[in-house]
A = this chain, B = another copy of it.
Amino acid sequence: MAKAAGVSLSSVSRALNGGKNVSAKIARDVSAAASKLGYQPDFMARGLRTRSTGMVGCLVPDIANPLNATIVRAAEARLREAGYMLVVASTANDPGRERSAAGEFRGRRLDGMLVAPGSDANDTTWRELTATGTPVVIVDRDPLDEDPAVLVDHRAGAQAATRYLIGLGHRRIALLTADARMRPSRERIAGFHEAFNELNLDPGGAQLCIQASPMDFAHADTLALLRDAARPTAIIALGTRILAGTLRAARDTGLSVPDDLSVLSVGDTDLAAAHTPAITALRWSLDDVGRAAAELLLQRLRGDVDGPQSRAVLPVDLVLRESCAPPRVTSG
């Protein structure tokens, strides 16, 4: 390549990297030779010298979950724009796989990481794995110290949803969410309780279910819940497999939505929007989460020690549809 352009290696490097001190002639010759040869610099060699890989890793519990996948897509788009490639690892919430993936990322010296750990970031083993000086952005998990993070205001969302159901007259409300070791569920539970507390309502009537992810479990569990004499009149369900299980359970027990049972989805998925009746849902912008995470990471990568902000908190909206109604028999 250098010979093709008839200049030295150093000049090629300078010309290609848009460095200063390059004469017009050399710049011309180099770019001509480069395009004629279809030359593309070798990332390995460059990375070896500059100690940067041009890649960022993304650790999510489950890439097949549309909630995560949409975030990944948005982040990937922004990062590619900035010249980075995105490496993904889906950890299935398994601490072992999580650790091995993080180790792999570290071994490959990725420039940065977007992480949504299964267990929370407080976890020491996880902690020490991230602590290699690699810039990290936490996505919707509790950050420690000064880690930049993108957070979603699940607490306010859950509070608004609960308030809305209470306003319709519901008193026995079940919250079906995922593993409470993770921030989103914890925040939702808190918001749920706050909504009851602010009205001085007996929280004993509130029912709270916390479950692991598998859809079948959600289904069986919800069946039992709905068959109980003191069944809830409204359910707030996490809008992926748990919502699916809930709707199937309602169908199986012959309860009609919203007449016999109000259903509110946490997260606005295809399922919620297309269901008959359409499911009222809490919605937040997954694209915004992904974009914001990428932006925060890019700030770090550029070395802006303190960019505009190192925490982003995104709002949650309540989208009213047809799946919630006053309970048939007011139980107040």
List the B residue with the shortest CB-CB distance to A270.
Answer: B244
List B contacts of A101 (CB < 8 A): 80
Contact B87 A87 (CB under 8 A): yes
Determine whether the beta carbon of B251 is less than 8 Å from that of A270. Answer: no
Contacting pair A64 B53 (CB below 8 A): no
Cα separation A134 to B86 with both chains bound (whole Å): 20
A234 to chain B, nearest CB (A): 18
A127 sits at the interface (CB 8 A): no
Q: How many identical chains are in the complex?
A: 2
Residue of B with least CB distance to A271: B271
**Distance in Å: Cβ of A163 to nearest Cβ of chain B:** 26
Interface string of A135-154 (1 = CB under 8 A from B): 00000000000000000000
- Determine the distance from Cα of A144 to Cα of B62 in the docked complex, in whole angstroms: 33
Cβ contact within 8 Å between A90 and B109:
no
Q: Within 8 Å CB of A278, what residues of B? A: 248, 251
Q: Mark A7-42, 1 if CB is under 8 A from B, else 0.
A: 000000000000000000000000000000000111
Question: Which of B88, B240, B274 lies in contact with A244, CB distance below 8 A?
Answer: B274
| Chain A 269-307 per-residue mask, 1 if CB under 8 angstroms from chain B, else 0 | 111011111100000000000000000000000000000
Partner of A276, one of B54, B63, B251: B251
What residue in chain B is nearest A104 (Cβ atoms)?
A: B85
A interface: dominant SS: helix
The contact of A87 among B41, B55, B244, B274, by CB within 8 Å, is: B55
Chain A interface: which size bin?
A: 35 or more
| Contacts A87-B85, A109-B42, A247-B274; A80 near B104 (Cβ below 8 A) | yes
A329 contacts B by Cβ under 8 Å: no
Contacts of A64 in B (CB 8 A): 66, 69-70, 72-73
Measured between alpha carbons, how far is A322 from B48 in the docked complex, in Å?
Answer: 59
Of A54, A62, A250, A274, chain B has the most CB atoms within 10 Å of the CB of: A274
Q: In the complex, what distance in Å separates the CA atom of A91 from the CA atom of B297?
A: 22
Given the complex, which residues of B lie within 8 Å of A40, measured CB to CB? 106-107
- A 41-71 binary contact with B (CB < 8 Å = 1; else 0): 1111101100001110000001111100110
A244 to B279 CA separation, bound complex (whole angstroms): 13
Contacts A41-B107, A42-B48, A86-B87 known; 15 new A-B pairs at CB < 8 A: A64-B66, A64-B72, A64-B73, A65-B69, A66-B69, A69-B69, A77-B90, A85-B108, A243-B274, A244-B274, A247-B274, A248-B274, A250-B276, A271-B275, A276-B276
